[in-house]
Amino acid sequence: MVRFRNFPVKIGGLDYKTARNRYPEKLFKFNMQTMPSHEQALSHHQVDLMICPRWMIPVIPDDTILENHALVVDQGQILDLLPIETAMARYSARTTEELPEHVLIPGLVNTHTHAAMALLRGIADDLPLKTWLEDWIWPLETRWVSTEMVRDGTLLACAEMLQAGITTFNDMYFFPEAAAEAVDQAGIRASLGILAFEVPTTYGHGPDDYLNRGLATRDALRNHPRLSFMLAPHAPYTVSDQTFEKVATLAAQTGLGIHIHVHETEHEVLQSLDQYGERPLARLERLGVLGPQTLAVHAVAMNDADITCAARHNIHMAHCPTANLKLGSGMARITEIHAAGINVALGTDGAAGNNRLDLLAETRLAGLLAKGIHHDPSLFPAHHLIYMATLGGARALGLEDRIGSLSIGKQADLCAIRLGDAATLPVFDPASQIVHCAGRDQVTDVWVDGQPVVKKKHLTQISQEEIYAKAKTWQNRFRG
């Protein structure tokens, strides 16, 4: 065992040297400066928070479950992870949370949603994507989208996501400055989209206006501790070559990622072949849009050449299985996509298309679809599905250095899931139990930056009554 400052250092049951060698630097960060000195350890170093669950799944190292360990948090960051008895001897916490029936995991990362569309939940169900968008959603948005609608809808979505253990979401919608107000109020973390597409709306006159407004919002909020941004050209069928080239240039200049719907349906692919003579991914490759900063959403209608192209550029994929099925878009080839080395994360899509902002439900469905399609129950085991919902999502958003695993030095975005009821007992494997038995109803406590945002199932930063009242107001407006 390696020793540091006269006391042993272990990460997830591995000594520091083994862990450092086994996991790439990009994914495994260990900040020595965050470790307490020997003198501090002996004098009960005071910290903000100590969480003592029955189990922990740190995500790094892979396939690790820690039992009777404590997570120590100070100034919003994970300071230590060690056996509870040792933690009690070493630290004095201002707040200690005893969770004897719980498993603690990193906060879930929802890599694709349109948060404000929570207000459109249930409108025009059971229609194909093209009809749903063009005949129902877009006309409603044309009439109603405003800063008020986006702020209220995003706040409703934040409440739902936090109570489902989601601590970070990646958004693509109008008026990101209004979404930022909701994010700030809710205490959640978000990556907001700098939208671009060709159709004028109440938000902007065209792609240049959208981009300029989004970049101005990003500049105004660049120092917000829980906000980040991605360029968000809507889709190949709504964005011109000229706009894509501008997005690619902006990405190179600013270092921002690119968040885009792509290959969502076979119709989209056929339309691209008819209009451009090439498949959407090939067109994006030609225009310089693809790269390790690109997050391709849905990616359902992918052939072998498309997968090879995606892997060549090391892009990420946001897999949204429920929305894909509900809209009849198809089933993404995530087994082949993952085998090609592409990082596959998980998303819910908007509540208008999925009806639920429930990432735990997406983990189970993603795994079951892969197993069933390929007649192979070994595909996508529980630990990997949890990775997809946490660190895989953080990687897709360029946030893996800050969130996604219970690693020393990362932000304390955490989710506690109770495994102590009839639906979850007995517990032989907490990872399997999370994916195949538990759900958002078992999420009891959530922290973002070490601050409690859900405590014993109750939101701490948001008035539920206020949210419900606003949702009912919007319902009446839409009906009118």
Q: What is the pLDDT of residues 93-117, one digit of tens each?
A: 999 999 999 999 999 999 999 999 9
- Pairing type for strands 108-113 and 166-171 reads parallel
Length of the chain: 480
Give the separation between CA 210 and CA 334, rounded to whole angstroms.
Answer: 32
Give the model confidence (pLDDT) of 129-171 as tens digits.
788 888 888 888 888 999 999 999 999 999 999 999 999 999 9
Kindly report, residue by residue over 383-440, the tens digit of the pLDDT: 999 999 999 999 999 999 999 999 999 999 999 999 999 999 999 999 999 999 999 9
CA–CA distance, 470 with 480 (Å, rounded to integer): 15
Bond into 381 cis (ω within 30): no
The answer to whether 111 and 170 are in contact (CB under 8 A) is: yes
Average confidence (pLDDT) over 263-274: 96
Q: Give pLDDT tens digits for 208-255.
A: 999 999 999 999 999 999 999 999 999 999 999 999 999 999 999 999
The pLDDT, as a whole number, for residue 130 is 82
Amino acid identity at 410: K
- 356-385: per-residue pLDDT in tens? 999 999 999 999 999 999 999 999 999 999
- pLDDT, tens digit, for every residue of 6-21? 333 333 444 434 444 4
Q: Identify the CA nearest to 446 among candidates 158, 60, 231.
A: 158
Averaged over 268-293, what is the pLDDT?
A: 98
Average of per-residue pLDDT across 69-97: 97
**pLDDT category of residue 43 using cuts at 50, 70 and 90:** low
Which of 65, 80, 61 has the alpha carbon at shortest distance from 20? 61
Per-residue pLDDT, 159: 98
Whether the predicted pLDDT of 42 surpasses 50: no
- What pLDDT score was predicted for residue 140? 87
Instruction: Report pLDDT for 44.
Output: 77
CA distance 474 to 477: 5
pLDDT tens digits, residue range 167-209? Answer: 999 999 999 999 999 999 999 999 999 999 999 999 999 999 9
Delineate the domains of the chain, giving CATH numbers in brackets.
Answer: 3-107+407-449 (2.30.40.10), 108-396 (3.20.20.140)
Contacts of 39 (CB under 8 A, 6+ apart): none
Cα separation, 236 vs 257, whole angstroms: 17
Whether the per-residue pLDDT at 329 is higher than 80: the answer is yes
pLDDT at 39 over 90: no
According to DSSP, residue 36 is labeled P
3-state secondary structure of 242: helix
